[in-house]
Amino acid sequence: MSPEPAAGAGGDDAATEPCDLTAVGARRLIGAGRLSPVELLESCLARADATDPAVNALVTRDDAAARDAAQRAARAAADAAARDAALGPLHGLPVAVKDIQAAAGLPTTFGAVPFADNVAAVDDPIVRRIRDAGAVVVGKTNLPRWSADSQSFNEIFGTTNNPWDLTRVPAGSSGGAAAAVAMGFTGFELGTDIGGSIRFPASFNGVWGHKPSWGVVPTTGYLDHVAGGDTEADINVSGPLARSCDDLELLLDVLARREAPWIPQLPAPRFDVDSGDGLRVAAWLDDPSCRVDAEVLAVLKPAVAALEAAGVSVDRDARPDLDPDEAWEVGLWLVRAAMTLAGEGDGPDHRSWLVRHARREELRRRWAEFFADFDVVVMPVAFVPPFEHLQEGTFSDRLLTCNGEQRPYPDVTRWTILTGMAYLPATVPPLGLTPADGLPIG
């Protein structure tokens, strides 16, 4: 029997313990003096003590350092209240860091045995940002080796299980991060995404996740296999996982890059962001190139119907003018290139990359034409619901079952790569549970 996921995804009114609060809700209470950062941290640690042995999401903990940080945060909150001063936007909120992002004083193993004893001397830029905003770092979360799978297991820390069903995967590669949020071990998490590694775990664990547009959040410091984290890898992004949409907004404001010379200037929304008036939605829920399991569609279709019932304009037939098979082939090649050690010189490998990149630019243009008429496209994250642990064989030769038929395991990336390789943002909300097994779908 699985441990009970946190109530925070259902809103703060459903929270019975401080660790179940959303990040926004907990921060509001801390600012009002109604919740101590120490009380919040102890609630999170107690939840992890009780349930993480079954889930295995937090693979490194430094309780002593976290308690010191929480006590400092509590004193700072009391001092700020006395002086009527402002606190950081994440003040006193516990967080763990995916074990491919460096946090000073903690191991950063990448899930790879050669780095089992690697301890970071400094924070990655985004880890420094959340600390500067007041967050309390409690440890590291699990991932697949080199962050390169749609499950979360490795030889160092073992397997992370899905909180909703321990026999199933929490997805990957930010599977430990999403499971930690779902269980209430932390209020939010940092994830990374090159082929779906924020989006899959958000969907499979019933939490919120956001993959920003490429370049909005810095990824320097992240071991990208090409430059060792000194530069930013193609396609790869960092982004938040949390228990509410408001949490994502709070976190993205902290994470997003704002330094010159590259400061994004985004146009105003073409619709009312509060009421949804004027929002134009395309619903692309299934496709012959990658048929979607009936259990997934049983959750997605009512969600689209709810948008229509709320008065939102939904077009169920609109599609971008592109070949999904070509887009996946190009995107998967580019993802693999970004995760492989670079060759030397301007040889055939580089020419091959230039050819794929040119095709990618054409696909990006076609997406841009599509979004001239639509604001949002609703798509599946994965063609299957959370599946049972599948660790035998390689990424390329495993099989998944969809609608009673076996499909290649790499197909799990078909929907996410369509948009990821084009640098587009994507948000995953928890939409509901599958009828047969009660598994979350986003």
How big is the chain, counted in residues?
442
How far CA 368 is from CA of 160, 211, 363, 427, in Å, comes to 38, 18, 9, 18
- SS3 assignment, position 190: strand
Give the helix/strand (H/E) hosting 390: none
Q: 275-296 as b/e, with b when 16 or more CB fall inside 10 Å?
A: eeeebbbbbbebbeebebbebb
Given the residues 36, 43, 174, 197, the one annotated as active site: 197
- Distance (Å, rounded) from C-alpha 328 to C-alpha 334? 10
Concerning whether 244 is annotated as a catalytic residue, the answer is: no
DSSP secondary-structure letter at 330? H
Q: CA-CA-CA-CA torsion for 190, 195, 196, 197, nearest 10 degrees?
A: -30
> Active-site residue among 36, 98, 147, 244?
98
Catalytic residue among 152, 173, 203, 244: 173
Concatenate the DSSP letters of all residues of 229-272 into one string: TSSPPSS-EEEEEESSHHHHHHHHHHHS---TT----PPPPSS-
Neighbours of 16 (CB within 10 A): 9
Tell me, what amino acid is at 39? E
Give the residue carrying structure tokens 């779902």: 182
> Which pair of tokens denotes residue 1?
């029997």
Active site residue 98: yes
Tell me whether residue 173 is one of the annotated catalytic residues.
yes
Select from 354, 312, 318 the least CA-distant residue to 333: 354
DSSP state of 438: -
Q: What is the Cα–Cα distance from 311 to 318, expressed in whole angstroms?
A: 18
Catalytic sites, residue numbers: 98, 173, 197
